[in-house]
Amino acid sequence: KRSALKSRREFVDGIKSGSRTILSQAITLIESTRSEYRELGQEILEDCLDQTGKSIRIGITGVPGVGKSTFIESLGKQLLEDGKKLAVLTIDPSSSRSKGSILGDKTRMPALSAHENAYVRPSPTGGTLGGVARKTRETILLCEAAGFDTIFVETVGVGQSEIKVQSMVDFFLLLMLAGAGDELQGIKRGIMEMADMIAINKADQKNIKKANQARQEFKNALSLFPAHESGWEPPVLTCSALEQIGLNELWEQIEKYFSLTKENGYFESNRKKQAVYWMNEAIEDQLKDRFFQHPNIKKELPILEKKVATGSISSFKAASDLLKLFEH
């Protein structure tokens, strides 16, 4: 038999005392499709806000096969040894928890999953990318309230998710592999340019020459892009997560980034900009939700879309017609 739901106060106290169990339950509320659970989740979040914002938030991406799990496990273990508290979140709009991704996440990061100062949470399931991203951002805040001082947000590196993630993290790390000149294959336009660091993974003994070559190529490519607003010049490093090579240097660079941006004010101004961005995203999401869920719109939209595609009605007239249906 299911136990009764905790009170708002019990949730907030539990999270602030660092209980991972209660944190998990609160995140489940945030992710719920039931509106009364979501509302409770929002109330809990509001009460936790005073304990948020103090972590460093790092986005990590790369194509499947680049070794993200091993990388996060290796780097994460090192951070835990240094006394950090680490939360690892994932954004994958295509994921479905029923396919066993909870088990999957525990299997692919066994050391982190078992460690008392780490918290691994798989991607929220279902819904649009916007919805998945919103839930992840709220989860970041809850994790911070629970005392996690380092947050990793992992994405798959093949789509739009990275842009959403960039708007919720302070630092964006792109993992790459050394290849034969085609390093960018599979990396969507624009992802490379938003990276604050490129790390070429699997640069072990037999790969080191190719990796160094790739490193030089990426350096050249990055040098062609305009300077980052943060004042930071994205470095290109090589590492081997499996053999634990290069991770110290990599983390030093990340710490340098945070020193620089906290000193020059970019860290703070970027966080403020992100918060206002998310408010506007939330407004748009909710407006669109109401529009596209409206029964008149659901009925007429496919008909008008067809007419627009064949050119028998202009895009603008179709939009106006739909807006009228929405308001009546």
Neighbours of 142 (CB within 10 A): 26
Task: Judge whether 241 and 73 are in contact, CB under 8 Å.
Answer: yes
Shortest Å distance, C-beta 132 to a second copy: 14
Q: Which listed residue (16, 108, 115, 188) binds a second copy by CB under 8 A?
A: 188
The 258-297 site mask, x for binding a second copy (CB under 8 A), equals --------------x--xx-xxxxxxxxxxx--x------
Q: Is 299 in the site for a second copy (CB under 8 A)?
A: no
Q: Which is nearer to a second copy, 10 or 284 (CB)?
A: 284
Q: Which listed residue (16, 106, 186, 208) binds a second copy by CB under 8 A?
A: 186
Q: Which of residues 189-218 bind a second copy (CB under 8 A)?
A: 189-190, 193-194
Q: Which listed residue (6, 16, 53, 113) binds a second copy by CB under 8 A?
A: 53
How far apart are the C-alpha atoms of 58 and 75, rounded to whole Å? 12
How far apart are the C-alpha atoms of 123 and 129, rounded to whole Å? 11
Task: Judge whether 59 and 169 are in contact, CB under 8 Å.
Answer: yes
How far apart are the C-alpha atoms of 326 and 224, rounded to whole Å? 47
Q: Which listed residue (10, 36, 46, 255) binds a second copy by CB under 8 A?
A: 46
Q: Is 180 in the site for a second copy (CB under 8 A)?
A: no
Task: Judge whether 61 and 50 are in contact, CB under 8 Å.
Answer: no
Instruction: List the 150-155 sheet strands across, edge first.
Output: 118-121, 86-91, 150-155, 56-61, 171-177, 197-201, 236-238
How far apart are the C-alpha atoms of 71 and 138, rounded to whole Å? 25
Shortest Å distance, C-beta 159 to a second copy: 12
How far apart are the C-alpha atoms of 80 and 29, rounded to whole Å? 28
Q: Which is nearer to a second copy, 141 or 254 (CB)?
A: 141
Q: Is 129 in the site for a second copy (CB under 8 A)?
A: no
- Of 249, 57, 70, the C-alpha closest to 175 is 70
Q: Is 128 in the site for a second copy (CB under 8 A)?
A: no
Q: Is 114 in the site for a second copy (CB under 8 A)?
A: no
* Sites of contact with a second copy (CB under 8 A): 42, 45-46, 49, 52-53, 134, 137-138, 141, 181-190, 193-194, 221, 223-226, 272, 275-276, 278-288, 291, 304-305, 308-320, 322-323
